[in-house]
Structures are given as structure tokens and as C-alpha cells.
Amino acid sequence: MDRFVTLEVDEHGVGVIRLDRPKMNALDIAMQDQLKEVADEATRRRDVRAVVLWGGEKVFAAGADIKEMQRMGYTDMVERGPDLQGAFDAVARIPKPVVAAVTGYALGGGCELTLCADIRVAADNARFGQPEILLGLIPGAGGTQRLARLVGPAKAKDLIFTGRMVDAEEALRIGLADYVVPAEEVFATAHAWAAKLAAGPQYALRAAKEAVDRGLESDLDTGLTIERNLFAGLFATEDREIGMRSFVEQGPGKAKFN
């Protein structure tokens, strides 16, 4: 089977999940399955301390493979739907910082994949959108849920109801992108973010991500309980010992974590 999604890990502990299916990284079933495999691998591997999602210099991912999808009926999608969402969930649940490096189009499933990241670095030529409504559909890989949580329900409905694309400037303004840089700097910027986080306290970063993500799915009291338990648990880690000892002996911001 051809490999359209790969994981490469560098000396900084950054794992690059690379989408590479010519011409537009259309997310067909094979690519979805490989995405889950690679996300699970990034979760398991101890040498992966942070992740960059990267579609290449020209395009992040222009959406699903519509020709493949056109051949599917209701029962086909009943069977396939859990695996489709499961692939994206696997990325969202990587318990390490995940940075999306977005160039060109991030549409449909491509946009939904960026929503699975913790930070989105967009090129000045990036275009985001959920155009499924133009096919008589709605987003099916988490878009109705993650987009609304990220940009708010009103703006999410605007994008989903109309199917329109937003440029990098608007994406930044509404919170769909966190940083906008020249296209030739996207990967380097995303990688620098990931490398910085890869050098941080891994268990504390894992706990912070879990607290925010699980808290958003809960009421405030439940979220505070999640935070309290994770906070207390970190007192059993070497990360906490290193961080506090460095602070006392050298001052803030100088700790070197293992």
C-alpha cells in the first residue's frame, strides 16, 4: 500500500506528521487510516515530545476525496463514520503539544484536521473553510463540534452554513489561526514552536492539555476537579522536582527538563 501519511522524528524530539498525497492531499479512506496509525504511533513513542502537522509547501489538505465519497451510500457511511472520526480523534488525543503548519488550502477535512491541533501557524496564503454544505452535507470529522468550540457557535455557523472560505487574515481575527507568517516561513515557525515545547516538562504539558481539553467538555465544577487532580499528581513527577529546584537555585525559566 502506498504511504500518504508518515511520521519522522528529529533530534529535537519533534515528530513531523507529513501528509503527501498528490495533488491536493485529498483525505481518502487509505489516508484516514494511515493518519490514525501515525497518530497512535506518535502517542506511543517516548522520543516524540511534540508534533507538527504538515501538508507540504503548497497545500495542507483540500478536503475529502469526493470521487470516492460519491460512490458511498447511507449504510456505507454508517459503517465508515466511526473510523473517519476516529482518525481525527486520534490526532486530537495525542497527549503532547501538536502544531499545525498550514499552507494553501485547508478545506473540509483539511480544516477539521487543523482543529485537532493545539496551535495553528498559517501561511499568508492559507485558506480555511468547511464547504460541505455546498455538497448537500455537513462536516463529518468533528467540524461542527471543534470549530464551534474554537471560534464560537455564531462564527462556526457562518462558515458551515455558507461554506465560504476565509483567508489567513480573517482566520487570525476569529481565532481559527493563531499566527500568520509568510508562506516560506510556516514550517520553520511551527517547528520552532514544537521544538520549544519538546524541551519543556512533558508530564506537565500532558496534564495541561488534558485539563484544558477535558475541562471544555465539562461543567466548571468538573473541570476544576480535573485540574485539581492533575495538579496534585504532578507533585509525584521528576518534572516538578527539576522545575522547583531550578527556580530556587537559579531563578525562573532556567530549568532543563529530561
* Beta-sheet pairing, 127-129 with 119-123: unpaired
Q: Do domains 5-198 and 202-250 have the same CATH topology?
A: no
Angle between helices 220-233 and 202-216 (to 10 degrees): 170
- What integer pLDDT is reported at residue 169 of this predicted model? 97
**Closest CA relative to residue 106, chosen from 49, 180, 38:** 180
**Closest CA relative to residue 29, chosen from 56, 2, 6, 7:** 2
- pLDDT for residue 108 is more than 90: yes
pLDDT tens track for 162-214: 999 999 999 999 999 999 999 999 999 999 999 999 999 999 999 999 999 99
**Closest CA relative to residue 91, chosen from 192, 185, 209, 202:** 209
- pLDDT for residue 258 is more than 90: no
Q: Are 64 and 212 in contact (CB under 8 A)?
A: no
- pLDDT for residue 2 is more than 90: no
Q: Select which of 11, 68, 79, 132 is catalytic.
A: 132
Residue 254 per-residue DSSP state: -
Q: Are 39 and 175 in contact (CB under 8 A)?
A: no
Domain ranges of the chain: 5-198, 202-250
- What integer pLDDT is reported at residue 100 of this predicted model? 98
- pLDDT for residue 118 is more than 80: yes
Average pLDDT over the chain, rounded to an integer: 96
- Domain 5-198, CATH: 3.90.226.10
Note the pTM of the prediction, 2 decimals: 0.94
Query: C-alpha cell of 46?
Result: 517516548
Q: Select which of 8, 11, 41, 112 is catalytic.
A: 112
Q: What distance in Å separates the CA atoms of residue 55 and residue 53, rounded to the nearest whole number?
A: 7
Query: C-alpha cell of 104?
Result: 494553501
Q: What distance in Å separates the CA atoms of residue 169 and residue 191, rounded to the nearest whole number?
A: 21
Q: Environment class of residue 96 by beta-carbon count within 10 Å: exposed (0-12), middle (13-18) or buried (19+)?
A: buried
CA dihedral 164, 167, 169, 174 (to 10 degrees): 30
- What integer pLDDT is reported at residue 181 of this predicted model? 98
One-character DSSP codes across 180-237: EE-GGGHHHHHHHHHHHHHTS-HHHHHHHHHHHHHHHTS-HHHHHHHHHHHHHHGGGS
User: How many other CB atoms are there within 10 angstroms of residue 82's CB atom?
Assistant: 10
pLDDT tens track for 21-80: 999 999 999 999 999 999 999 999 999 999 999 999 999 999 888 999 999 999 999 999
Torsional sign, CA 68, 58, 164, 216: positive
- pLDDT for residue 1 is more than 70: no
pLDDT tens track for 223-253: 999 999 999 999 999 999 999 999 999 999 8
Alpha helices (H) along 15-142: 29-44, 66-70, 74-92, 109-115
Torsional sign, CA 153, 193, 113, 129: positive
**Closest CA relative to residue 206, chosen from 225, 173, 186, 230:** 230
Mean pLDDT throughout 8-22? Answer: 96
Written as one letter, the residue type at 76 is: D
Chosen CATH of 202-250 out of 3.30.565.10, 1.20.210.10, 3.10.129.10, 1.10.12.10:
1.10.12.10
132 catalytic per annotation: yes
238 catalytic per annotation: no
